[in-house]
Structure 1
Amino acid sequence: MRKLAFLAPLAATLAVAAMAQAQNPNVNVTIGPDLQRQVEKLGDREVNEQIAALQTEVGKALAQRYPGATANLVLNDLKPNRPTMEQIRQNPSLDPIRSVSIGGAAIKGEIVTADGQSRPVDFSYFSPNIRDVWGYSVWRDADRAFERFGDQIERGRF
């Protein structure tokens, strides 16, 4: 009887974990051809970190709005606000603090809901003006683009 008392909560926990795993959205991100040509200049590691940030943000949004959905996204454009480490390495005249530019990201693709409906995705955000760039991180506007994209998914725009 004691073995059953121990196994019952364990079985319940595993069942809940399996249900949560089944409901987790799947986010696939690929790099578009234009951005692929820029990866060498931006740096592989930094681009991969941005892909991971996009996957995390979209995964959270899909879990809220479309549990069990799959997002197949193409990151078409990615621009930093400040020079990346690779850009500084390639061009030492860039200043990691004073060099500021308009950043952001462009995303296309589709969201396939758990019931099989396909919803097209086309989203981009870039600072409209150099005066609108705020924050001190290299990828602030790209992060803002991912956050806004996640918000749009949660609101049901896509």
Structure 2
Amino acid sequence: MRKSPFFAPAAAVAAALAVAGAAQAQPEAAQSAVNVTLGAELQSRVDKLGDREVGEQVARLQTEVEQALSQRYPGASAQLVLTDLKPNRPTMQQMRDTPGLDPIRSVSIGGAAVEGTIVTADGESRPVKFSYFSPSIRDVYGYGVWHDADRAFDRLGAGIERGRY
């Protein structure tokens, strides 16, 4: 009797769902809690940058810090404030507001600044103050809108993993 090829993908999907279910069944205490808020100055510029895109960057920062904390300080939590955020290329909102911007040729110095505290599982509080912006327009080589902000979040995560914070 021949096996039908139709059932092979179904078995693979079932196995993937079982693995995903097991990953979600891990205790909540092992996962890190990261809360990211916007600084007052950045909040005043959200309408100009675009609410959705700023929200995506907050989520990106939160994910990066959660991963770094789980590596270095399991069970730690962080209260972070995104104080500055600048895109390398125009956001969708900026292009709607200023039709003359070119999404390809309009380039600027981008990056991000973050402040806050990390509280380890044993209660130790560690201050965080980090910023990265391209040093000059010649150093902007990425093609993404948030290339330097992503680089800032990656460097912050690497600093946390190394124990700098």
Q: Do Structure 1 and Structure 2 share a fold, with TM-score over 0.5?
A: yes
Counterpart Cα distance in 1 of 2:48 and 2:123: 38
Question: Does residue 134 in structure 1 map to residue 141 in structure 2?
Answer: yes
CA positional deviation for 1:81? 0.0
Question: Does residue 43 in structure 1 map to residue 50 in structure 2?
Answer: yes
| One-letter amino acid of the counterpart of residue 17, structure 1 | A
| Structure 2 runs not aligned, ≥5 long | 1-20
CA positional deviation for 1:130? 0.5
Counterpart Cα distance in 1 of 2:26 and 2:44: 40
CA positional deviation for 1:17? 3.0
Decide which of 115, 120, 125 is 2:122's aligned counterpart: 115
CA positional deviation for 1:82? 0.1
> The residue matched to 2:25 in structure 1 has which SS?
helix
User: Between Structure 1 and Structure 2, how many residues are aligned?
Assistant: 144
Counterpart Cα distance in 2 of 1:134 and 1:65: 31
Decide which of 17, 20, 25 is 1:17's aligned counterpart: 25
Matching residue of 1:146: 153
CA positional deviation for 1:27? 0.6
Task: Return the TM-score normalized by structure 1.
Answer: 0.88
Matching residue of 1:6: none
Matching residue of 1:79: 86
For residues 68-125 of structure 1, give each alpha carbon's deviation from its aligned partner in whole angstroms, at most 9, with x where no partner exists: 0001000000000000000000000111110000000000000000011100000000
Matching residue of 1:4: none
CA root-mean-square deviation: 1.3
| Structure 1 runs not aligned, ≥5 long | 1-12
